[in-house]
Amino acid sequence: DAGVTQSPTHLIKTRGQQVTLRCSPKSGHDTVSWYQQALGQGPQFIFQYYEEEERQRGNFPDRFSGHQFPNYSSELNVNALLLGDSALYLCASSFVYGTSSTDTQYFGPGTRLTVL
């Protein structure tokens, strides 16, 4: 049973460019959350997708957007990249029981984004 997978592993971009990161959730999971982890810091919540809609969002600008597909996989898009966007981007998946509770979140290995 494959866990959470993410692609690509590493990515180097320049300021002003746009980037798309991809995530496939653990089998049986229907909810995907994205986190940004700066060097030496704990992960910070970006947003969460459930039933192909953004369910909740953390304190990130509109340059960060996402999408969830019918097969539950997800993309994270970042426009107009800044140097400060350099970080490890983590995808976590879970299963939501109805609308009221969620199972444990499992993290993927992350995508290391470097903005020059």
Q: Which residues bind another protein (CB under 8 A)?
A: 4, 31, 33, 35, 40-45, 48, 55-56, 58, 90, 92, 94, 96, 99-102, 104-110
For residue 46, give Cα distances in angstroms to 2, 27, 40, 82, 116.
Answer: 24, 22, 18, 16, 22
Give min distance, CB of 43 to another protein, in A: 5
Q: Which is nearer to another protein, 66 or 110 (CB)?
A: 110
Q: Which is nearer to another protein, 43 or 85 (CB)?
A: 43
Q: Which is nearer to another protein, 38 or 82 (CB)?
A: 38
Q: Apex CA 94: angle with CA 110 and CA 28, to 5°?
A: 105
Q: Which is nearer to another protein, 15 or 107 (CB)?
A: 107
Closest CA to 86 of 96, 75, 78, 94: 78
Give min distance, CB of 101 to another protein, in A: 5
How many angstroms separate the CA atoms of 65 and 60, rounded? 9
